[in-house]
Structure 1
Amino acid sequence: MLAVILVALVFDYTNGFHDAANAIATSVSTRALSPRTGLIMAALGNFAGAHLGGQVAKTVGSGIIHPPSGMSGLGIVFAGVVGAIVWNLITWYFGIPSSSSHALVGGLVGASLGAMLFGVDDATVLWGGIVEKVVIPMVASPLVGFTLGGVAMIAIMWIFRKGNPRKLNKGFRYAQTASAAAMSVGHGMQDAAKTMGIVVLALYAGGYQDNTSHIPEWVFWTSSTMLALGTYSGGWRIIRTLGRKVIDLDPPQGFAAETVASGVLFTTSWLGVPISTTHTITSAIMGVGATKRLSAVRWSVAGNILVAWVLTFPAAGAIAVLAYAISRWMF
């Protein structure tokens, strides 16, 4: 049990430094925030947002897999989280913004399928819940982010069409402080909640509680703390990709992208739908940039992100199968 909880918290930490870019990349690239100030804000926002993400935690804990009780169930959760951690580290090393959320789901599914291959017949994958709560939002959230990012940017350009560019940039740099803070809270609501769901799933599989809907208070605090620490450590490779390589952002564009992305995160967290913060902010950035001109978006970089988006689920799942095969003797 302790090993599973520890590996879940390690995932939480890697999630923090892998996805730190989601909250602050645009604000850092437009110089609205210094990198260190941005990371402190992101860490605090993640910590606060974690306590508001209970609905997402319940979805992760009960809507993706149903592990058997006992040691075999703990082994599935352990291998699933290992699969997500390894994929996070691979994509972080290459500076590719991928989804920690989809890596986690893919890892859990892969570990469950691996357990079935090794004769654990009562391991169950809840395919209906995955389609409804993961696959549909996985496709819809980037489309929504891209569309709303474009709409928001067009609205800003029309409203401030007669404004002084220098004064507008200065004003939007201040506004980005608020939008980046909202993005940080939304990230905490989504991503810390996923670790909480994993810990609750482990407690259920280990027989320490009889359902997956109750989240102990200590789980809130440990998950939010680890995510905040990981965020503060920073994911500079991915911050550079989101902040500069996709498009060169100015303060109004950064504000539009962050406002749209945080709105999507708040809404889906309230509905209990786990989505990718990475894909949401990336698609919003591309939608904002496309209003300037289509060539302003570096589509080759966007293509690499898309490839990682497609590969994340099966790659994390395959790694989890291997992790289960190696670690099942422990459980």
Structure 2
Amino acid sequence: MEPLLLGTVVIAAGGFAFLNGFHDVSNSVATAVRTRALTPTIAVLLAALFNLVGALLSTSLALFFTDAGFGLPSGSTGLGILLAALLAAGAWGVFTWYRGKPSSSTHALLGGVIGAGGASRLTDGPAMDGAGEALLLQIVLPLVLSPLVAYLLAYAAVFPATWLLRHRSPGRVNRDNRMAQSVLAGAFALGHGLQDGQRTMAVILLALVGSGYATGSDMPLWVQVFAAVLLTAGSLFGGWRITHTLAHRLVHVDPLRGMTAQGVSSVMLFVGAISLHFPLSSTHTMSSAIIGAGANQRFASVQWPQVTRILAVWLGTAPITALLGAVFLLALSPLL
């Protein structure tokens, strides 16, 4: 039964990677498409290519997740927790896509793991323990603080960007910023691949380690390629509902502020993935940067009622997916 459960977890992880790319490609292309720096087709192709490259570049974050392990039990119980978490995160991702609301796949996955782990106790299964401090300081805290940091950095970055371009004509400023956005769209997608591509790798590696098919110190090449290809495939199909929200319903952004938001969020993803080994939500980072850059304008351009609704979705992601994860784990418990 355990090999079958392992295969199901791998398939579900592939579906999660596809949905992640489908859901989050909007973050890479929204501002570039909104300011006409790129056409929608070129933007999506560019994002998909750099998502693939980013996911193939590094496995350090995935190995960190595996090392932390959340105290995941071995055997069928651990596989059941992972499967329940993936199903919960996938269900939330489909719902938020349908509603056109940007949300964090990482928050959803963590919420699902925590909820499923708690439900395991109700079925007299092994408990998850031993990773509380690492979970709080190195995973939850960066995810919670990153939107605030992105907002403040983007708001502040508009000032030097405006000062540097003060002597140029508006036409040239817009043209140059659109060119910069074309480059930064690829850079952000690369950062997204570095960050989110490794979530799927971590889940599969945890499943393999818990089943005794791998060690936690090395990432099998097929796992990395599997996650990268499915993340890229999801990006190619593109969830345009969320692109419309970020580009048109959230804030009226010009090329300079769009370039600033993309630059700030790209740098944060790279620093988090490569230097600090912190997981950051690309959705939260880009959305907050867009709001921060857009708020730094002479006219009130931010649609605050829409921002409030998005914040409600963000705050509800972890609790709702935790509840879903618990429900799915209880439903799976007869098979574990």
Which residue is 1:156 aligned to?
A: 161
Instruction: Describe the SS at the equivalent of 1:295.
Output: coil
Of the three residues 45, 54, 61, the one matched with 2:59 is: 54
Residue identity in the other structure for 2:220: P
Which residue is 1:226 aligned to?
A: 230
| Structural mapping, 1:1-331, within 5 Å | 1-124=6-129, 126-209=131-214, 211-270=215-274, 271-293=276-298, 295-331=300-336
Residue identity in the other structure for 1:140: L
Instruction: Describe the SS at the equivalent of 1:201.
Output: helix
User: Within 1, Cα distance between the matches of 2:93 and 2:195?
Assistant: 16
Structure 2 CA distance for partners of 1:97 and 1:64, relative to 1, 3 Å:
farther
User: Within 1, Cα distance between the matches of 2:212 and 2:106?
Assistant: 25
User: Within 1, Cα distance between the matches of 2:64 and 2:32?
Assistant: 31
User: Within 2, Cα distance between the matches of 1:159 and 1:6?
Assistant: 50
Q: Structure 1-normalised TM-score?
A: 0.96
Aligned residues: 330
Instruction: Describe the SS at the equivalent of 2:213.
Output: coil
Does the 8 Å contact 1:59/1:274 carry over to 2? no
User: Within 2, Cα distance between the matches of 1:9 and 1:84?
Assistant: 13
User: Within 1, Cα distance between the matches of 2:320 and 2:107?
Assistant: 10
Does the 8 Å contact 1:83/1:323 carry over to 2? yes
| Identity across the alignment (%) | 37
Does the 8 Å contact 1:60/1:274 carry over to 2? no
Does the 8 Å contact 1:58/1:272 carry over to 2? no
Structure 2 CA distance for partners of 1:294 and 1:269, relative to 1, 3 Å:
farther
User: Within 1, Cα distance between the matches of 2:114 and 2:209?
Assistant: 17
Structure 2 CA distance for partners of 1:294 and 1:327, relative to 1, 3 Å:
farther
Deviation of 1:144 (Å): 1.2
